[in-house]
Chains A and B, each alone.
Chain A
Amino acid sequence: MEVPCGKMYMDSSTKTSTATSIGLLKSIPGLGAFRDHGATVFFLALIALSALITPNFLSFGTLENTLVQVFPVMLVALGMTLVISSGGIDISVGAIMAISAAVLARLYTSGVGLAPSIGCGILAAGLCGLFNGILISRFRIQPIIVTLVVMIAGRGLAMRVQGQLSTSLEYTPLGNFGLYKVADKVPVQIVIMLAAVAIILFVVKKTVFAKHVEAIGDNCRAARLVGINTLATTIGVYTVCGIMCAIAGCMEAARIGAVNVAQLGLFIELDAIAAVAIGGTPFSGGRTRILGTVVGAVVVGLVTVIVNMNDIPSHYSMVFKALIVVVAMWTQRKK
């Protein structure tokens, strides 16, 4: 019987054959440590490299700047980690960010209050996630196809909702909020980011929901047979991911002070997936490594910052990120 979990790879026979050798690989101490903490190794290496080649790198300003820049990738990557540990993938995250920002901008500039506007932005993104989840679990369409569809259609929809090329939010309470610093020191993004990490970490470590997500990712058929509601769980995962995108989208709109849905969140799915990959959450599902993703997102963000601070043309940052992903996957490979 086919199973409605939206596993990316339906052929399970390829997955398990390598299982025994991983156990062996892990028990070699040095190699195991590198495998498990590849992200941290990268992170430290990158910081060391940056400190060496970048002037003024080790300063509070750089730290603050990096973290604020990392913010959207971090939130999206947190949602993506859940999706990937359920055995799926979501490439519509950028488009969902754009949708939420478009809804927010449209409502907010037409006189709706700040809170309801944000609420509707989040709601719209949640609905997109819900749509993804239902198509994947109920209608058993491959996650990459479903989210590809939302990725393409979503941005078009966002443009339609926004109705104009760019909406300025400067000097509005929303725009000010994007630049707000808690206690005049810590950008609001950092606070939200820490809260998000803490919440997701709690969910993953402590809730039944997260265990069910991992179980679905690890063996979808077995998950059904132990009585897990695979439909609801899968839908939940994509919805949570959508909501994370909404927070990222709305906050980015506020920080930039303008919404341009053609650009907002463009290619962020790649950064988010890269962050998850660097963080060591296996793409075959079954394991969730939130702290790995956190480090992974910072690594991805650092690359951009380093490239900018060293006056290297920015398109090189994409090449560097790609290289890091390749090396990360190589260190975590199943031998």
Chain B
Amino acid sequence: MEDHILEMKGISKTFPGVVALQEVDLFVRYGEVHALMGENGAGKSTLIKVLTGVYQRDAGEIFFADEKGTGPICRNGPEGASHKLDLSPFRSQRAGISTVYQELNLVPYLSVCENIFIGREPKTRGLIDWKTVERRSREILSDMGLEGVDVNEPLHKQSVAVAQMVAIARAISIEAKLVVMDEPTSSLSEEEVRTLFRVIKRLKKQNISIIFVSHKLDEVFEICDRATILRDGRLVGQYAMRDLTKLKMVSLMIGRDATSVLDKRKRVSAGREGRDLVLKATGVSRARRTTEISIDINSGEILGVAGLLGSGRTELARIIFGDEIPDKGRIEIGAKNAHMKSPRDAIRLGLGFCSEDRKEEGVFPNMSVLDNMTMAILPELGKAGVLSRKAQLRIAETYITKLNIATSGPNQPMRELSGGNQQKVLLARWLCKNPILMIMDEPTRGIDIAGKAEIENIITELAGGGVAILMISSEMEELIRSCDRIAVLSEGRKVGELAAQEISEEHIMHMMAHGSALREDVHGQ
């Protein structure tokens, strides 16, 4: 078919012990935004890596149209089996396929413009033409609505969101014909997502095709034209977005009826009477990122914290966990003043913390599931510093069963687990310590829908057992489903708090956007 820029037919890929892809097709038209959907482990990333030449496929054909669209340039089908290794990352990039990976491939200590042009700097007489690099970088970024960025500043001084945009800028500047975006919005704020979508629309107008991978259904439905859905390494089908509803898509992705999973507001608030105050923070401030925030949580209660990126929500979590020391304000744990100088102090007081950034702040990738799970409780497991492997194993086996963790065994290295299962291990790390307060920052980030539901259930059960929970999330539906109360932060301040009966998406959005409650009777401050 002539109107396809990319045809991947019957792609199979097997890793030792795992069939990652089984006869999967992917057809992308010119100038369309094509969603590649599926749960974690469905094979999206593998398919993309086959396309970009990071992995070599075992079987299948890939056709990618050349500049004029007259013919395939990478015809490595069965008839040309000897060319099977031809599709390298370099070749696929040269052919016009450009990728923005989920984990950013950027160099933090180089400047913004160096990052955009790294590897293909314009040269005059063999030397890098810095003026052109800077000018072009500025043009590209201002095209994307990022005029304020100093292109000569090192990247690590920029926010994650800017870094993400820089990665996209690099992909675009290669003059790609097909841009693959793997979870491009996972660290972007609402406004930045808008900017990204404007950029995507502009690319569409230039007849550039985009493969868009995201867990966020709203975004997919907003920006995408068609979708290819994968499940367990197989093709479920290819659909036009207008023929799909969110519910249908979710059902196709997880292979069963989704209504039970995406239940709205199922939590019945336990009420606050007769419960002990676990955490009381009063007027907590630090630097300019959190100003005079006060919250309190009772045992068995789930307090949600809503707010945009940069609203101070993560900083608040870190302060309560003793990772950052507040300049002002008091924190009381169990009605006693808590002077925490480090997370160690907080843990001693019975706190647990699951970071939003599993990779950087949670997992020990090269250590076993067993060690990862028991790391916080290790000192208590042994006598005089000699640890009991039996006790370790007992805990690991208990929680692997209890939380339904998919692992080949307690000795499997943590890095081999999927995101959802890693998160369960990290939850187990704290559960086995019987905390009185759990702080969860984005507990379901990057986890597929079935996994999300499971983790939400664990959290709810935990609260049922009397644990106080502070839950931070940028997914409003998640907060609405799980929380008893929701505190809304904006620009480092608490702008209000919603009680159970007041919780709705509308209220929260209004507070985040306008810094005040929708109605007078919503009690705040």
Chain A residues in contact with chain B, CB under 8 A? 1, 11-13, 16-17, 19-20, 22-24, 27-28, 206-209, 211-212, 214-215, 218-219, 221-229, 282, 284, 286-287
Contacts and interface: CB of A to CB of B under 8 A. Distances in A.
Interface stretch (B67-75, B232-240, B361-369): B361-369
Contact of A208 (B17, B106, B342, B378): B378
Given A208-B382, A211-B378, A225 B355 contact: yes
A13 B155 CA distance: 13
14 contacts: A23-B415, A27-B16, A207-B385, A211-B371, A214-B364, A218-B364, A222-B355, A223-B375, A224-B323, A225-B343, A227-B343, A227-B344, A227-B348, A286-B364
Interface string B487-519: 000000000000000000000000000000000
B416 A23 contact: yes
Contact of A215 (B105, B108, B364, B416): B364
Contact of A222 (B17, B318, B361, B386): B361
A156 to B, nearest CB: 34
Most chain B C-beta atoms within 10 Å of own C-beta, residue among A17, A24, A208, A229: A208
Nearest to A32: B16
Interface in B303-326: 318, 321, 323-324
Contact of B324 (A1, A28, A221, A229): A1
Interface string B341-369: 01110111000010100011111111100
B365 A16 contact: yes
A219 B343 contact: no
Contacts of B104: 13
Contact of A11 (B108, B323, B359): B108
Contact of A227 (B17, B109, B376): B376
B105 to A, nearest CB: 8
Contact of B375 (A11, A12, A211, A286): A211
Given A206-B386, A209-B385, A225-B361, A13 B16 contact: no
Contact of B343 (A212, A224, A284): A224
B103 A17 contact: yes
Given A1-B323, A211-B371, A227 B347 contact: yes
B29 to A, nearest CB: 31
A27 to B, nearest CB: 4
A16 B105 CA distance: 11
A215 B347 CA distance: 17
A287 B376 contact: no
A219 B379 CA distance: 18
A229 B108 CA distance: 28
A27 B323 CA distance: 38
B366 A286 contact: yes
B485 interface: no
Most chain B C-beta atoms within 10 Å of own C-beta, residue among A12, A13, A211, A227: A227
A214 B367 contact: yes
A8 to B, nearest CB: 15
Contacts of A11: 108-109
B424 interface: no
A19 B365 CA distance: 8
A75 to B, nearest CB: 22
Contacts of B364: 214-215, 218-219, 222-223, 286
Most chain A C-beta atoms within 10 Å of own C-beta, residue among B344, B362, B365, B366: B366
B280 interface: no
Contacts of B367: 214-215, 218, 286-287
A187 B473 CA distance: 65
B413 interface: yes
A82 to B, nearest CB: 15
Nearest to B357: A221
Mostly helix, strand, loop or mixed at chain A's interface?
Answer: helix
Contact of A224 (B17, B342, B378): B342
Nearest to A12: B360
A79 to B, nearest CB: 19
Contacts of B361: 219, 221-222, 225
B16 A24 contact: yes
Given A28-B16, A206-B386, A226 B366 contact: no
Contacts of A207: 382, 385-387
A290 to B, nearest CB: 16
Nearest to B101: A17
Contacts of B376: 226-227
Given A219-B363, A222-B362, 18 more contacts: A1-B324, A12-B360, A13-B106, A19-B365, A19-B366, A19-B415, A27-B15, A208-B382, A211-B375, A218-B366, A219-B362, A222-B364, A225-B362, A227-B347, A227-B348, A228-B375, A284-B366, A287-B366
A298 to B, nearest CB: 26
A20 B18 CA distance: 13
Nearest to B351: A227
Contacts of B16: 24, 27-28
Contacts of B348: 227
Most chain A C-beta atoms within 10 Å of own C-beta, residue among B17, B353, B363, B378: B378
A20 B359 CA distance: 13
B226 to A, nearest CB: 29
A283 B105 CA distance: 22
B9 to A, nearest CB: 25
B429 interface: yes
Contact of A229 (B344, B362, B365, B375): B344
B73 to A, nearest CB: 27
A226 B380 CA distance: 13
A234 to B, nearest CB: 14
Contact of A23 (B343, B360, B386, B413): B413
Most chain A C-beta atoms within 10 Å of own C-beta, residue among B364, B382, B386, B429: B364
Contact of A225 (B17, B353, B415): B353
Nearest to A20: B415
A225 B323 contact: yes
Contacts of A225: 321, 323, 343, 353, 355, 361-362
Most chain B C-beta atoms within 10 Å of own C-beta, residue among A214, A225, A286: A225
Contacts of A222: 355, 360-364
A282 B415 CA distance: 15
Most chain B C-beta atoms within 10 Å of own C-beta, residue among A12, A23, A206, A222: A222
Nearest to A284: B366
Which 7 pairs, one residue from A and one from B, show the smallest C-beta to C-beta distance?
A: A286-B366, A227-B347, A27-B16, A218-B364, A19-B415, A226-B376, A227-B344
A222 B355 CA distance: 9
A275 B382 CA distance: 31
A13 B416 CA distance: 18
A282 B343 contact: no
Nearest to A229: B344
Nearest to B54: A21
Contacts of A22: 415
B108 A27 contact: no
A24 B49 CA distance: 15
A214 B364 CA distance: 9
Contacts of B15: 24, 27
A229 B321 CA distance: 15
Contacts of A12: 360
A222 B365 CA distance: 11
A206 B388 CA distance: 8
A286 B386 contact: no
Contacts of B323: 1, 224-225
A12 B321 CA distance: 23
B368 to A, nearest CB: 10
